[in-house]
Amino acid sequence: MTQSPLHRILDFANRADPYPVYEELRKTPVYHEDDGPYVISTYYEIRSLLHDPRISSDARNLSSATRDPLAGPDQEDMALPPSFLRLDPPEHDRLRRMTNRHFGPPHSPHRVDGMRAELHGIVSGLVDGIGDPGRIDLVEQFSYPFPVTVICRLLGVPREDEARFHTWADTIAASLDPDPDADPAERGRGAHDARTQLGMYLAGLIEERRRNPGDDMLSELATAKGPDGTMSTMELLSTAALLLIAGHETTVNLVTNGMLTLLRHPEVLQRLRADPRLAVPVVEELLRFEPPVQLLPQRTTLADVEVHGVNIPKGASLWLVLASGNRDPRRFGDPDRFDPDREDIQHLGFGSGIHSCFGAPLARLEAQLALSELARRLENPRLLEDPPPYRRNAVLRGPRHLHIACDGIRA
């Protein structure tokens, strides 16, 4: 029996290369079947909806009559309240504004760039510690420990606790995946338990930071008193959980997908080795070509909305397939070609609109430093397995392992 486009997106057999599925999907820019979600796959329509105030990120606005059975556990079943990522204005704006005071301009303009030397030191140390150049698991030895170390230092989370929150983060990230083969009740229970344990862990850290504040973001968030007031304890917990998980999950995929793509395009890898400044356009093109977040499966209409001639009713579930929009030939010439020399790479890799990726400045810098250092120091790097084994997650798509080899590691 022929699979529908929706189930082909979710089919793990297509995880290594979902782009032919997206190409087929774009023939029907607004795809809908039975009681399922409305799937939007073309660039201009996705971008417009990301800026449309009639589109909600709060699952509590989803009509019970149209509730998407693949969308994961309900917000109200969660142990922690929704983070600002899952809220609408004005609550979203207030919490995001309060968080950003300690992360970026105008109040903390040098927070990310001021970490550049520290980030380079972490990257260099990880490359130094690779060991046997004949068989390297880039995920285990580099792509995962790098952003985890960074987000721990930024937030003030003890790096030695990584083993504890790694399992919780994996479970919570898996709950975002609309896997049709997963038991929704079991997945909901697993996510609830993981969020409860993570919340209890973070509550202990926050209490400690209130007593003995440091120069980390968690201390600042816990003790701040700005024009928007202070966060409640539950708001602080959900924000800290968001920053801890989102602060490394997507960057792992960005770095790993990036190195995989460069090894498949050795001419670009050679150029990057010769000119580290190329890292900036390389990362932007990677965010278009192989985005770490493939789709946003939890959006809801607050009113009837017409998209590409199709009326989507109030309370309907929307899936916005960012990775498909990034390969839309109506927007990008020769979209299936990896080309860091593109003059205009206005990709959807970090989303767009009010929910554009909060950590984008840090993720960009991490990927630029990581890929340029790997290109410089690994001698004759090559893939040992192509395609590599992928994580099951269709939303946060990336290799679970990336086995490579090189002839040596330069100093």
Q: Is a pLDDT exceeding 60 seen at residue 70?
A: no
pLDDT on residue 248: 87
Which residue, 141, 198, 207, 193, is CA-closest to 164? 198
Mean pLDDT within 394-400: 95
pLDDT on residue 43: 98
Which residue, 220, 177, 194, 226, is CA-closest to 80? 194
The confidence band for 192, taking pLDDT boundaries of 50, 70 and 90, is confident
For 240-263, the pLDDT digits (tens) are 999 998 888 899 999 999 999 999
Amino acid at 305: V
116-128 helix and 360-377 helix, angle to the nearest 10 degrees:
40
CB 58 within 8 A of CB 81: no
Q: Is a pLDDT exceeding 70 seen at residue 73?
A: no
Which residue, 363, 385, 366, is CA-closest to 374? 366
What are the structural domains of the chain? 5-409 (1.10.630.10)
Mean pLDDT within 152-174: 86
Q: What distance in Å separates the CA atoms of residue 293 and residue 398, rounded to the nearest whole number? A: 9
CA atoms 134, 138, 141, 146: torsion sign: positive
The token pair that represents 101 in the structure block: 């005071």
The confidence band for 77, taking pLDDT boundaries of 50, 70 and 90, is very low
DSSP string, 30-67: EEE-TTSPEEE-SHHHHHHHHT-TTEE--GGGS-GGG-
Q: DSSP assignment, residue 309?
A: T
Mean pLDDT within 119-124: 97
User: 265 — phi, psi (to 5°)?
Assistant: -130, 70
Mean pLDDT within 336-359: 95
